[in-house]
Each structure stands twice: as C-alpha cells, then as structure tokens.
Amino acid sequence: MTNLQEINGFETGQRDSFEALVKGLARREPPENAQEFQPNDGRGGDGGVEAIWILKNGDKVGYQSKSFVKLEATQWKQMDKSVQQALKTHPELKRYVFALPLDFTPKRGPQTKGSQQEKWDDLIAVWKALAAKSSISIEFECWGATVINDKLLANDNLALHRFWFGGDVLDDAWFKSQVEAATLKLDDRFNPEDHVEVSIEAMFDAIVRRPKSRARLHDAFTSLASNSVPSIEFTTTSLKPDPEVLAEASSLWSELVEMQALINQEPTIEWNLAKAKETLDELHKLAWKLERSFSTTDSKSLEEAEEQEFKVVKDSLRKASDGSCHA
C-alpha cells in the first residue's frame, strides 16, 4: 500500500499536494445528480471545504483534506473547526467528506475506550446535533489511507498515482506489458503451441487461485460428493462391517464435502489444502479397510435379496478407496 505521507511535494509542499490529490479524486467521482464541481483556493479561507460538488437540486457535497502525520487532540480540534465553518458557510451541505493520509486506530472492545474510530464516531454525533440546530441533515464520511489507496489503484486514477507518487503501479496492465516484452525478447524461441504443462505450473495456479485451479478443485469435490460412504446393512453376519470404522469413514466424508466452501473463499483467506489432503488420505485407508472385508466374498453365495445390495456397496467402497477423488 502506498504511503500517502510520501506524496511528492514539488514546489509548494506535501500539504498542498495532498489537497490537490483529494480534489482530483473528488472531481473524478461526481455524486448522483451532480451539476458543478468547485475547487477552492484555501489561502484566502476555504469556508470549511476545499472542494464541493453542487447537485442539480442545489444540495452540496463538501470535501476537506487534512494532511496529518498523527491524529491527536490538536488535529481533532482542527477537524471540528472545519466542520463548524462549513455548516455556517454552506448550509446546503448533505454530505461532508474528510480525507486523511492515515487510517483510524480501531475499537478494542467494550472494556477499552479511546480509539480513533470511537473518537470519530463521537464527533459525528456532535456534528449532526450541531447541524440539526440549523435544520441541516448531513452525513459524514472519512477517506482514510486504505480508501484513498483503493481509489488510486482504479484504472482511471493510475495517472494520478504516477504523478503524485512516481514509480510503477503493479496492476494488470503492468504485468501484461512485462509478459509481452518478455515474449518479444524470446522471439521464435517461444511458441505457445509448444507449451507443456508441468507440476510447478499447477502449484502456481493454486497459489494465485486461477479459474483453472478452482475448476480442478470443484471437479474433485463433485466427484467426492457423488461417492459417499454407503450405509451397510446386511442380515448375513459375516458381511457386517466394523461399526466404528464405518462411522469414522462417514464422518470424514462429511467433513471433506463441507470443505468445498473453501473454493470460493476470498484470496486473503488461506486454502487449507494440506488438511483436506490429510483427511482424504485417511478416508481412502478406511474405505479400503471396509472394502477388503468384501473382496473375498462371492456375491453368488448370498441370498437373492442381498446380492444386488452387496454389488452396490462393494462398488461404492471401491470408488471411495481408489483415490479417484484426488484433484
């Protein structure tokens, strides 16, 4: 994530640069029914806002940047002063946005007070009450470091990122250009039709969770779900399996089927494939143990009512034990 406090100061300094960046982002995101964008030059007093969007019905959305390196009592007072001035100067305000180059410290639980997030929430209540005295209904929003970084990484804003912070942005376009440059350098030494898949490629596919990798996992889990551990009920005593082994195998199968949800997890959540493989291997062992007890039995020696059931159970156990569910 880009450190917003390292913005290029150019001739006027980082404070003015951050203000200009916020104005640029605000202008590129017109609210619904926007009519006119007005940036302000704060050197003569900005009236509590450094930019406003005027809506078609006359309402306004205000933006105020604060290039703080820390957030303590002095900084909160400055923000409070800006809001009070904005409400006096622009009673048409319906939304007020603060932009900061840092994120709030989070709440730490009901027993601990004093976080910046709690201070912000408390001030919003104070500001809304103040606005209500002038019959103003207004919402407050904060663009912190994370929010501003997200905006800068949008394709339409990459030029802003390069201008204010320099360097390359590692977006899809950057990686595409690197691959194209490498391909050109290889010339006739590279032909996509000659590509051979190797195990290391599958590993990288899984790491970045490409659609191909997700599809392989989906197929594996689908195969697993269709090969459940059968319920085994025979009147012939010699065919009755170990009930503990059967119960454990059924439990492992259910546990694996539930793991299918991991395919659609967010990239920030780790895929616990090692656990899935460990559980699957144990299921194969138990299924083979159950199958082995049926392998020496001749189905023709069974009563007619049990012969067909025997064949179905034996086939199900064979599928569950032969490893056909591996991705």
**pLDDT tens for residues 38-87?**
998 866 567 899 999 999 999 999 999 999 999 999 999 999 999 999 99
Residue of higher predicted confidence among 131 and 297: 131
Residues 214 and 156 in one domain: no
Residue 301 pLDDT: 54
Residues 161 and 224 in one domain: no
Residue 265 is which amino acid?
Q
What number is the average pLDDT over the span 177-200? 78
CA nearest 141: which of 22, 55, 308, 305? 22
Domain-embedded: residue 174: no
How many folded domains does the chain comprise?
A: 2
Residue 124 is which amino acid?
I
Q: Which of 132, 149, 165 is the last residue of a domain?
A: 165
Domain-embedded: residue 96: yes
Residues 257 and 143 in one domain: no
Contact 85, 71 (CB under 8 A): no
Residue 76 pLDDT: 97
Residues 19 and 130 in one domain: yes
What number is the average pLDDT over the span 262-282? 77
CA nearest 56: which of 76, 34, 77, 75? 34
Residues 160 and 23 in one domain: yes
Supply the Cα-derived Rg of the chain in whole angstroms.
Answer: 32
Share of the chain above pLDDT 90, in %: 39
Domain-embedded: residue 200: no
d(CA 44, CA 47) in angstroms, rounded, equals 9
User: Residue 238: which domain range?
Assistant: 209-321
Residues 16 and 161 in one domain: yes
Q: Which of 130, 165, 200 is the last residue of a domain?
A: 165
Residues 140 and 261 in one domain: no
Residues 38 and 97 in one domain: yes
Can you state the angle between helices 211-225 and 199-208, rounded to 10 degrees?
A: 90
pLDDT at 324 over 50: no
Residues 161 and 213 in one domain: no
Residue of higher predicted confidence among 271 and 130: 130
Exposure string for 298-319, b = 16+ CB within 10 A, e = fewer: eeeebeeebeebbeebbebbbb
Residue 213 is which amino acid?
S
Contact 93, 60 (CB under 8 A): yes
Contact 162, 155 (CB under 8 A): no
Contact 320, 283 (CB under 8 A): yes
Domain-embedded: residue 296: yes
Domain-embedded: residue 234: yes
Residue 257 pLDDT: 80
Contact 232, 317 (CB under 8 A): no
Residues 221 and 151 in one domain: no
What number is the average pLDDT over the span 19-40? 95
Domain-embedded: residue 192: no
pLDDT band at 307 (very low <50, low <70, confident <90, very high): low
> How many Cα atoms are found within 13 Å in the side-chain-facing hemisphere of 305?
4
Q: Report pLDDT digits (tens) over 118-140.
A: 999 999 999 999 999 999 999 99
Domain-embedded: residue 181: no
- What is the pTM for the complete model shown? 0.55
Residues 219 and 121 in one domain: no
Average pLDDT in the chain = 81
Domain-embedded: residue 176: no
d(CA 36, CA 80) in angstroms, rounded, equals 26
pLDDT band at 232 (very low <50, low <70, confident <90, very high): low
Residue 95 pLDDT: 97
d(CA 96, CA 55) in angstroms, rounded, equals 14
Structure tokens at 266: 């967010």
What number is the average pLDDT over the span 83-92? 96
Residues 150 and 9 in one domain: yes
Residue of higher predicted confidence among 35 and 243: 35
3-state SS of 41-109 is CHHHCCCCCCEEEEECCCCEEEEEECCCCCCCHHHHHHHHHHHHHHHHHCCCEEEEEEECCCCCCCCCC
Q: Which of 134, 165, 196 is the last residue of a domain?
A: 165
